[in-house]
Structures are given as C-alpha cells and as structure tokens.
Chains A and B, each alone.
Chain A
Amino acid sequence: MKIAVCIKRVPDSETRVKIAADGKSLDEAGVKFILNPYDEFAVEEALRRKEKAGAGEVVVIALGPAAAQETIRTTLAMGADRGILLQTDRIPADGLEVAKALAAELKGAGFDLILFGKMAIDDYNHQVGPMVAELLDLPCVTTVAHLEIEGMKGIAEREIEGGVEVVEFPLPAVLTTDKGLNEPRYPALKGIMAAKKKPLHVKPAALGAGGGALEILALTPPPERKEGKIVGAGPAAVPELVRLLREEAKVL
C-alpha cells in the first residue's frame, strides 16, 4: 500500500501569540514549532496501514520553510520511509494555492491513500485535504475518527453534530484525520537514528506568483474579556450568581 501523508509545521499550541511589526503575521522569535497535532493521527494511520498490508511505502510531504525538514524528520523517526519538502518562505493564506502545489506533487504518483490532518492548528483553514481531492478528482472523507479498509473499499466514521456519519468510499482516496482515530506513537531512539539516513528531497513549492485571492489585511489580538467578578464562595453564592445571570447578563 502506497500512502502519502501531507503534514504541516505549526507553532506549538502553548505558544503565546505575539504579532509581528507588519501587523499581519506571527512574530516567530522564540516560538517552538511542532508537527501539527492532527497530522500525527495521519502519520500513525499510514504506518499502521502499511504494517497491516505487510508492504508499501509511506511518503511524507510538507509545504513550508527550510526548517520544516525537521518536522519531516520527526515523521521519518516515527517510521515513514521518505520525505519531500516543497519549500517556500511564505505559506499562502489561500488554502487553494497550497492545495494546488500539493496536488501537482501528488498527481500521477500512484498513491492508494493520501492522508491529511483535518486542519492545521495555526491557520484553522480546514480545507486543503478536500481541495486536493477535488483537484485530483479523488473520493474524499474528512475528519475521520474510525476507519476500516478491505481491499480497495473503505468505511469511515466521522463526527457530526449529535451523531456519527458512516461513510463508504473506494480507494484511492483522500482522507483527513481527527482525534480518536488512533494513538500516535512516539519516535523511538532507534527510529530517530534511522531517520537521519532516510531520503528527504527538497524542492521549491510550485506556488502561483500572486499568492492566491485571499489577502491578509491585519492580524490582531482578540478583544480582551472585561474583568470578571468573583460572586462569592461556596453554595451560598449560587442565588446571587443566578440573579446576575438573569438580570445583568440576561442569559437565563
């Protein structure tokens, strides 16, 4: 089974966001970068599918700056076979531009499965996976939390409001992964050593000159919540809380 996993290098979820001097981007000074947490589920699923099939290849593809090589190495240490970095210093805000560059790399490469995390925890774009599927005319299921594959047919489950959708699809397919699909492994020391020798091909990302049709006008901190108040201590404070919720906040 030949599987591609598209990943992203993102700021750690615990990062304190500081906005850069241009007022449009993140000040990256001192920011720790990690493998996008949802992509970990995609990498893990690819490794398990390959292990189950007993043969195949897991290729990890990232679009990002030179430093994303480290992120790819993390996935090679987990067990992926080789990596490809589509290098760019500026990831477009327009997810379709990212999807086009990835689709150009994936097209005709003969992958049975192309996996993505359901979204990146930096831009929350939540779109590149299904866009790649559309561009390559492949079946796609997003936010997969349970997956069974028999031969060239798959059944996926995805969370929707108030329930779970059961979805059938044929392979080859594009899937985006949600938490709950599996428990991602940690790279073992042996894997970390092996990863250093695995192939990692770097080439320029095939991005359009314009950067897409979405222009970032500003990045601002969210409005501060106004200072709250401690209503009181213990159950004795509850009637006053309910009064405030009714009369002041008017939410009851």
Chain B
Amino acid sequence: MSHVLAVLEQRDGALRKVSYEVVTGARRLADALGGRVDALILASGAVKGTEQVGRYGADKVITLTNPAFALYAPEGYARTIAERIKSGSYGAVVFAASATGKDLAPRVAAGLGRPLAQDVVDLAVENGAVTVIRPVYAGKALMKLKVAGTPALLSLRPNVFTPVERPKAGTQESGAAAGPAGRVVVKAIKAAEAGTLDVAEAPIIVSGGRGLKEPANFKVLEELAAAFAGRAAVGASRAVVDAGWRPHADQVGQTGKTVSPTLYVAVGISGAIQHLAGMRTSKVIVAINKDKDAPIFKVADYGIVGDLFEVVPKLTEEIKKLHG
C-alpha cells in the first residue's frame, strides 16, 4: 500500500488556497496508487481551514507545531517533513510550487536522496510509477517524466489543479515538531498593500505593457482589477518592469512569473515570445491592443482592436455592473 503525503501551506494561522489544490493532486495519485492521503501542516498553533481539507480528499490531517513555525522555517520544516516521510510508506509527496514550496521541496528531496519534479501541471500513475508533465523552455515545450523508485516528490503549479470535492474522513491529528529552528531564520514578512493579490495566485490578471505609455496610466488597469472585487491582480510585461514603471513582483513572462489564471487580460502588450511563455497556460486570454497585427492576438481567445484608454474604462464599467 502506497500512501501520498500532501504538504500544505499556512500563513498567519490560516491555510492558503493552494493547499486545497495540493490535496486535490495528492488525491488523484492516492486513488491510482490505492492508498491514503495524509495532509501535513506545519505551524505554531491551530490552523484555520484544516477542517475543510477532508472535503478535498484527505484521509488524515496532521498538524505539527513548533513555536518556530509561525513563519516559514526552511531547515526546521525540511527536517520535520523528511522525518515524516521516512516514518510512513509514502509513494509520493506533493508540495505546492509556491515561493515556499519551491524553496522547501529541494531541501527535502536532497535530504532524502530523492529526485524532485517542480512546477508540475499534470500527473498520473502508469505501470505503478508516477509520471508528471512539466513545462520547460519557458512553456514552449512540455516534458513528460517518469519517476523511478519511491517516494516521488513533486510540486504543483498554483492555479492548475482546481480543487475537486472528494469527501474523506479528514481525521485530525496533531503533535509537536521537535528540534531547533535552524540557521536560516525568516524574521518578518513585509506584506504588500492590504488586499493586493499576487499575480502568481490571482484567478484574474489584468496586465499592462508599453502601450500604457507611462507609469501613471496603470491607474486604468488598477481600476479594472478593482472592479473584479478582490479577485484580480495587476501584472506587467518585461518592458515596463525594466523601465522601472512596475515592480518585478508583478512581471509575467520568462524572467518573471509563470501564471495560469482563469482569465488573463493583456492590455497594450504586443506579445513577445518571452511574455507568452509566462501566460500561455491561462484558461481564457483577452487581448486589447490598437495594433491588429500584434502577436498577442494569436494566443488570445477574444480580442478587441482599439485604443486601450477608451476600451479599458468601458470594460471596467461593464464589470462593475456585473458585480453591482
């Protein structure tokens, strides 16, 4: 019997949305392997949202606490997870390919001497072995890999594994995680402005490029994003980040973030290959550009040719009507 360990993420004592995606991915593997899903949460105390984890397919929900685990503790987390993996018969371990997960998973993998497939967008079990698909060459190709031996360690790209309800017992267990915090200590999180969503996790992204003409004009995109009532983030092309108009945290593309939102609205973005690399897996793409020959229209599901300074405010108005 081969079980699956789902490593969930919390911040400020509440489970992060990506955690439910991790449980969903883990459930798919566990069904194929004929095993159980154990969801593991590291925290400094009780975590909100753990009672929901069973709904998405976790048989057990294990919360391990340590006073040092309020914020991410890279070495303490890695050691605790590695010990947990060694103590169970896990065929696979699933992380989120979030900022934390992408840092944590390689430490755990190297500690166990096991390979790691990061940023997985699809997974399966074929002839008893875990296979994964992950984008390479900036999304210009998909690589299918087979993991030999167990456990298979993988991290899932956020926003790809839509949480599916698969009610299981979700039996709650808790315990203490022993050991010191480690040499690397997260002292604080400087939070972005309250209410701003990160482009890597937002279900809707409104992105701007050189067509915005100057930094102050991003206001029209911020207004559009605000009309989506807390579900949208503002992204940016490399050109405008390199010009210093927008922070690098907002950059979508090969040297920025790779995103898969439900809706991606590209405004005044021509669609350079390195930008397309970062957003081509979006579920629905809308392009607004005055150049009807812009390459962005080749990947867009819907396009409007026109002056963004006329089109975007009208779109904001229409979206507000929907939410009004």
Contacts and interface: CB of A to CB of B under 8 A. Distances in A.
A139 B284 contact: no
A162 B184 contact: no
Given A135-B110, A228-B297, A241 B302 contact: yes
A219 B142 contact: yes
A145 interface: yes
Interface stretch (B27-35, B36-44, B311-319): B311-319
B178 interface: no
Interface residues of A, number: 86
Nearest to A235: B314
A158 to B, nearest CB: 7
Contacts of B142: 219-222
Contacts of A217: 131, 144-146
B135 interface: yes
A225 B255 contact: no
Interface stretch (B85-93, B169-177, B191-199): B191-199
Given A229-B303, A251-B284, A19 B141 contact: yes
A231 B109 contact: no
Nearest to A127: B106
A37 B137 CA distance: 13
A122 B137 contact: yes
A234 B141 contact: no
Contact of B138 (A13, A93, A135, A239): A13
A228 B285 contact: yes
A69 to B, nearest CB: 23
Nearest to B203: A251
A19 B144 CA distance: 13
Interface stretch (B46-54, B55-63, B96-104, B206-214): B96-104
Contact of A220 (B141, B200, B255): B141
Given A17-B137, A95-B106, A123-B136, A161 B98 contact: yes
A15 B183 CA distance: 41
Contact of A222 (B135, B187, B255): B135
B185 A167 contact: yes
B107 interface: yes
Interface stretch (A52-60, A83-91, A196-204, A208-216): A208-216
B122 to A, nearest CB: 11
Contact of B305 (A216, A233, A252): A233
A159 B188 CA distance: 12
A99 interface: yes
Contacts of B305: 230, 232-234
A114 interface: no
B219 interface: no
A218 to B, nearest CB: 4
B280 interface: yes
Interface in A178-215: 178-180, 212-215
Contacts of A239: 318
Interface in B294-324: 297-307, 310-311, 313-315, 318-319, 322
A14 B145 contact: no
B103 A251 contact: no
Nearest to B301: A228
B149 interface: yes
Contacts of B201: 161-162
B72 A251 contact: no
A237 B306 contact: yes
A95 B116 contact: yes
A164 B189 contact: yes
A140 B185 CA distance: 10
Contacts of A249: 263, 283-284, 301-302
B140 interface: yes
A236 to B, nearest CB: 8
A166 B187 contact: yes
B286 interface: yes
Task: Give the top 6 A-B pairs by smallest Cβ distance, nearest first.
Answer: A134-B110, A127-B106, A161-B198, A235-B314, A131-B110, A160-B99
29 contacts: A11-B137, A17-B140, A38-B255, A93-B145, A121-B254, A122-B136, A131-B109, A139-B182, A139-B184, A141-B74, A155-B187, A158-B99, A160-B189, A165-B71, A167-B187, A169-B184, A214-B115, A222-B280, A228-B285, A234-B305, A234-B306, A234-B307, A235-B310, A238-B304, A238-B315, A238-B318, A249-B263, A249-B284, A251-B284
Given A17-B141, A179-B251, A245-B263, 6 more contacts: A126-B102, A143-B103, A213-B147, A221-B141, A222-B139, A237-B306
Interface of A: 11, 13-17, 19, 26, 37-38, 93-96, 99, 121-135, 139-143, 145, 155, 157-170, 178-180, 212-222, 225-226, 228-235, 237-239, 241-242, 244-246, 249, 251-252
